[in-house]
Amino acid sequence: MHLSLRAGEKIYLNGAVIKVDRKVSIELLNDVTFLLEAHVLTTNDTTTPLRQLYFMIQVLLMDPTCDAAPQAETMLERLLQTFENAEISAGLRRVRDLLENKRRFEALKVIRRLYPLEQQIINPPPIALTA
């Protein structure tokens, strides 16, 4: 897998944080877990249920020794019971399947694609009133 990083960008690779000082291209030759800086959430970013789930899975990905897996699974099951939107429910079921197979990076990608739907639920567009 080839990755291109800009000067000053960070990559989280197998739990290590690597910051490059110039534009570089790297090739990962074996199976590693990584997150690009643009995909990393901080605790301040966990403002919605899906972002909170993302953060928990991100922690598991960045620190495989972390014991947060049961909490992430519990949160995922609660979200499956809470969301009524069929597309979000299907996405969460996909996340559950991916997590069962230890495919955390792919689970994060699925959750990121659900953000716009969640935002529509949380902040629906205003209804136009006709006179």
pLDDT at 67: 84
Tally of domains in the chain: 2
- Is 76 inside any structural domain? yes
Amino acid identity, position 105: F
Q: The domain containing residue 9 runs over which residues? A: 1-40
- Say yes or no: 111 and 87 in one domain: yes
Q: Are residues 59 and 5 in the same domain?
A: no
Q: Collapsing DSSP states into helix, strand and coil, what is residue 51?
A: helix
Q: In the chain, which residues have pLDDT < 50?
A: none
- Interacting residues of 19 by C-beta distance below 8 A, sequence separation 6+: 8, 9, 10
Instruction: Identify whether residues 4 and 65 lie together within a single domain.
Output: no
| Same domain membership, residue 71 and residue 18 | no
pTM higher than 0.95, yes or no? no
- Claim to verify: residue 46 and residue 75 sit in the same structural domain: yes
With beta carbons less than 8 A apart as the criterion, state whether 30 and 7 touch: no
DSSP, collapsed to helix, strand or coil, labels residue 61 as: helix
Q: 24 and 45: one domain?
A: no
Query: Which helix (H) or strand (E) element contains residue 18?
Result: strand 16-19
pLDDT tens string 34-56: 888 888 998 999 999 999 999 99
pLDDT score of 131: 61
